[in-house]
Amino acid sequence: MIMKHSHMLLSLFVTIAVARTARAQGDSPETHRGALAVKSDANVGTSVTQRTPGIAGAERVLAVLRRDDAISRPVGYTVSVRRFTAAHHDGDLPNMQYRYGVRGDAVYFGIADDGKGQTTIAANGGSYNFQLTVNAVGYPAEMDNSDRELDGGPRVLGADEGGVETYRVTGQLHGRPIYGGNCTYVSRKPVPPIIPVTKQRYIELELLRARGDSSRHATRQVEVGSAAISDQLERFLRDRPKREADNQKTIAELKKAGIDDASLTQMREAFKKAEAD
Q: What is the pLDDT of residues 118-163, one digit of tens each?
A: 889 999 989 989 999 998 888 877 887 778 888 888 888 876 656 6
d(CA 36, CA 81): 8
CA distances from 107 to 7, 33, 34, 103, 130 (A): 15, 12, 9, 14, 12
Residue 11: band (very low, low, confident or very high) from pLDDT cuts 50, 70, 90: very low
CA 164 to CA 160: how far, in whole Å?
7
| Best CA proximity match to 33, nearest among 46, 42, 23 | 23
Q: 125 or 272, which is more confident?
A: 125
- Each residue's pLDDT tens digit, 121-132: 999 989 989 999
Strands (DSSP E) contained in 57-124 are 77-87, 98-108, 110-113, 119-122
**Confidence band of 209 (pLDDT split at 50, 70, 90):** confident
CA distance 151 to 134: 26
Check pLDDT > 70 for residue 175: yes
Please compute the mean of the pLDDT values over residues 94-116 and round it to a whole number.
89
Q: Is the pLDDT of residue 27 over 70?
A: yes
Phi-psi category of 143—alpha, beta or left, where left has phi over 0 and alpha has psi -120 to 50? alpha
The per-residue pLDDT for range 227-266, each reduced to its tens digit, is: 555 666 667 777 778 778 777 877 777 777 777 777 777 7
> Highest mean pLDDT range out of 3-17, 28-42, 248-262?
28-42
pLDDT value of residue 24? 43
Confidence of residue 21 (pLDDT cuts 50, 70, 90): very low
Q: What is the DSSP letter of 106?
A: E
**Looking at the predicted structure, is the pLDDT value of residue 224 above 50?**
yes
With CA atoms as reference, report the closest residue to 165 among 176, 155, 184, 179. Answer: 179
List, as one string, the DSSP characters of 177-194: EEETTTEEE--SS---S-
Q: What integer best gives the mean pLDDT of the chain?
A: 79
Q: Which residues of 163-179 are buried (b: 16+ CB within 10 A; e: fewer)?
A: eebebeeeeeeeeebbb
Which region among 44-53, 149-158, 164-173, 223-232 has the lowest average model confidence (pLDDT)? 223-232
In this structure, the strands spanning 119-122 and 98-108 are: unpaired
- Lowest mean pLDDT, pick from 50-59, 77-86, 201-210, 260-269: 260-269
* Cα–Cα dist 102/60, whole Å: 10
Q: Is the pLDDT of residue 274 over 80?
A: no
More confident residue, 260 or 173: 173
pLDDT of residue 19: 35
Q: What is the DSSP string of 119-151?
A: EEEES-S-EEEEEEEES--S-HHHHH--PPPTT
Asked whether 90 and 138 are in contact (CB, 8 A), the reply is: no
Question: Which residues are CB-neighbours of 179 under 8 A, at least 6 positions away?
Answer: 158, 167, 168, 169, 170, 185, 193
Specify the range with the lowest mean pLDDT, choosing from 32-46, 151-165, 218-232. Answer: 218-232
Predicted pLDDT at 28: 92
DSSP state of 75: B
Among the residue ranges 7-21, 141-155, 190-204, 219-233, the one predicted with the least confidence is 7-21
Show contacts of 177-184: CB within 8 Å, 24+ apart: 178/5, 180/139, 182/4, 182/5, 183/2, 183/3, 183/4, 183/139, 184/2, 184/3, 184/5
Residues 184, 31: Cα–Cα separation, whole Å: 30
89, amino acid identity: H
